[in-house]
């Protein structure tokens, strides 16, 4: 099987490429390297540098390679940036996906797995969150991802395209080889920011609000290892090949941990006191996001392996300790 991975130089994309290659699949990567890293691309994959908004470029790749399925990670994904520059998100996420779908339809490629997010739910109505729960995004990022899901739905009705949308909760951790991991600029995610303290890159970690209605007042999230996420994409391709049915799945561990609990866990893993400072709430943060992963388990047969925060943080720490400045490029 030949799989085209759009955004295969990014965090979750590169980890998925490693799993595909481990399984012996022919893997072709497209990335514009705006946020991805050349060193994150698996050496055994075939790489085309380009942008998914460039239809001629996409058409050429589809003509050269015989693609069985596409996995689409190529999107902008910072909540705060999406509120400052919403049109960048409409352009990259929606116009990019529209261009990709045009090219897929014209080149007769009919299977796609793509990254969606817990941000499609907005403030959750239930915990744990089910795929059938209300989706009312509270930021542009979540709105564009929900619109992408709807674009797939209507395009699949008109054309013979089948899709699986995977709604990630909080992706974290790094590949077991230590060769690839998380490297965002700017970094906004909790675990890499915490680990900057024992790496002597910052003095303390900021806790954004301790007055939420949760057990210790800090926000609760469902942290899911990036390799577990990667495995779900492969199961989703198998599912589409077997059933030809489009669907949407949550991907999380189904268990929530508070910001304070994650910091404590990082203290245990690193042996560093990691001082923390209580700061005001960050705007747009829901108090609690926990996935129901029952559907992914039942239908895809997905079972996360990294179920404890310590295991997730250990793998992240191995990467950050050995690569304090991230990738070389």
Of these residues, 141, 163, 212, 223, which one is catalytic?
A: 141
Contact mark string toward ligand UFG, 137..156, x via CB under 6 A = ----x---------------
Query: Interface with ligand UFG includes 175 (CB under 6 A)?
Result: no
Interaction with ligand UFG in 224-283: which residues (CB under 6 A)?
Answer: 259, 282
For 26, counting Cβ atoms within 10 Å of its Cβ (0-12 exposed, 13-18 middle, 19+ buried), the class is middle
Paired with 224 in beta bridges are 171
Per the CB < 8 A criterion, the answer to whether 171 and 253 are in contact is: no
Of 67 and 118, which has the nearer Cβ to ligand UFG? Answer: 118
Residue nearest ligand UFG, Cβ-based: 219
Interface region with ligand UFG, contact rule CB under 6 A, candidates 16-24, 62-70, 91-99, 114-122: 114-122
Compute the least distance from the CB of residue 35 to ligand UFG, in Å: 13
Interaction with ligand UFG in 19-78: which residues (CB under 6 A)?
Answer: 77
Separation between Cα atoms, residue 275 and residue 197, nearest integer Å: 8
Of 32 and 77, which has the nearer Cβ to ligand UFG? Answer: 77
Compute the least distance from the CB of residue 320 to ligand UFG, in Å: 14
Separation between Cα atoms, residue 113 and residue 121, nearest integer Å: 19
Per the CB < 8 A criterion, the answer to whether 205 and 277 are in contact is: yes
Question: Which of 68, 208, 272, 299 touches ligand UFG (CB under 6 A)?
Answer: 208
The H or E element containing residue 123 is: none
Question: Which of 111, 162, 221, 320 touches ligand UFG (CB under 6 A)?
Answer: 221
Of 109 and 148, which has the nearer Cβ to ligand UFG? Answer: 148
How many residues touch ligand UFG (CB under 6 A)? 21
Per the CB < 8 A criterion, the answer to whether 6 and 30 are in contact is: yes
Q: Taking Cα atoms as reference points, which of 197, 153, 192 lies closest to residue 171?
A: 192
Separation between Cα atoms, residue 39 and residue 42, nearest integer Å: 8
Question: Which of 147, 188, 246, 311 touches ligand UFG (CB under 6 A)?
Answer: 188
What DSSP state is assigned to residue 92?
A: I
The yes-or-no answer on residue 121 being catalytic is no
Of 190 and 266, which has the nearer Cβ to ligand UFG? Answer: 190
Locate tokens 């991991």: which residue? 181
Q: Taking Cα atoms as reference points, which of 254, 278, 277, 276 lies closest to residue 265?
A: 276
Question: Which of 94, 105, 193, 299 touches ligand UFG (CB under 6 A)?
Answer: 193
Compute the least distance from the CB of residue 79 to ligand UFG, in Å: 5
Residue 100 has which token pair?
Answer: 């990709």
Of 24 and 186, which has the nearer Cβ to ligand UFG? Answer: 186
Question: Which of 113, 219, 226, 312 touches ligand UFG (CB under 6 A)?
Answer: 219
- Strands (E) located in 109-216: 111-117, 162-168, 170-172, 205-208
Q: Is 223 helix (H, G, I), strand (E, B) or coil?
A: strand
Per the CB < 8 A criterion, the answer to whether 296 and 113 are in contact is: no
Compute the least distance from the CB of residue 252 to ligand UFG, in Å: 10
Question: Which of 119, 269, 300, 312 touches ligand UFG (CB under 6 A)?
Answer: 119
Question: Which of 189, 202, 272, 295 touches ligand UFG (CB under 6 A)?
Answer: 189
Per the CB < 8 A criterion, the answer to whether 285 and 207 are in contact is: no
Per the CB < 8 A criterion, the answer to whether 258 and 220 are in contact is: yes
Residues that bind ligand UFG (CB under 6 A): 77, 79, 117-119, 141, 170, 188-190, 193, 205-208, 219, 221, 259, 282, 285, 289
Catalytic residue IDs: 141
């Amino acid at each position: 099987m030949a799989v085209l991975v759009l955004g295969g130089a990014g965090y979750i994309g590169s980890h998925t490429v490693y799993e595909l290659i481990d399984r012996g699949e022919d893997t072709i990567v497209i990335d514009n390297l705006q946020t991805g890293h050349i060193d994150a691309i698996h050496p055994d994959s075939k790489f085309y540098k380009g942008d998914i908004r460039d239809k001629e470029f996409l058409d050429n790749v589809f003509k050269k390679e015989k693609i069985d399925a596409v996995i689409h990670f190529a999107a902008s994904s910072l909540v705060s940036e999406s509120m400052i520059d919403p049109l960048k998100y409409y352009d990259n996420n929606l116009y990019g996906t529209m261009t990709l779908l045009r090219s897929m339809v014209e080149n007769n490629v009919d299977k796609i797995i793509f990254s969606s997010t817990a941000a499609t739910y907005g403030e959750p109505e239930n915990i744990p969150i089910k795929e059938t729960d209300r989706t009312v995004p509270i930021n542009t990022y979540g709105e564009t991802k929900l619109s992408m899901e709807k674009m797939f739905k209507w395009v699949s009705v008109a054309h013979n395209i089948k899709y699986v949308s995977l709604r990630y909760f909080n992706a974290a951790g790094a590949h077991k080889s230590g060769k690839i991991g998380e490297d965002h600029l700017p970094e906004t995610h909790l675990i890499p920011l915490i680990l900057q303290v024992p790496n002597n890159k910052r003095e303390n970690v900021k806790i954004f609000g301790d007055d939420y209605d949760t057990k210790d007042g800090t926000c609760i999230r469902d942290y899911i290892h990036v390799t577990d996420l990667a495995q779900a994409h492969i199961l989703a391709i198998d599912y589409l090949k077997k059933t030809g049915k489009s669907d949407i799945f949550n991907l999380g561990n189904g268990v929530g941990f508070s910001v304070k609990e994650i910091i404590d866990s990082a203290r245990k893993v690193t042996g560093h006191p990691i001082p923390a400072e209580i700061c005001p709430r960050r705007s747009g943060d829901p108090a609690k996001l926990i996935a129901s992963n029952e559907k992914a388990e039942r239908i895809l047969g997905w079972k996360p392996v990294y179920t404890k925060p310590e295991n997730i943080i250990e793998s992240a720490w191995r990467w950050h300790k050995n690569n304090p400045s991230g990738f070389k490029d």
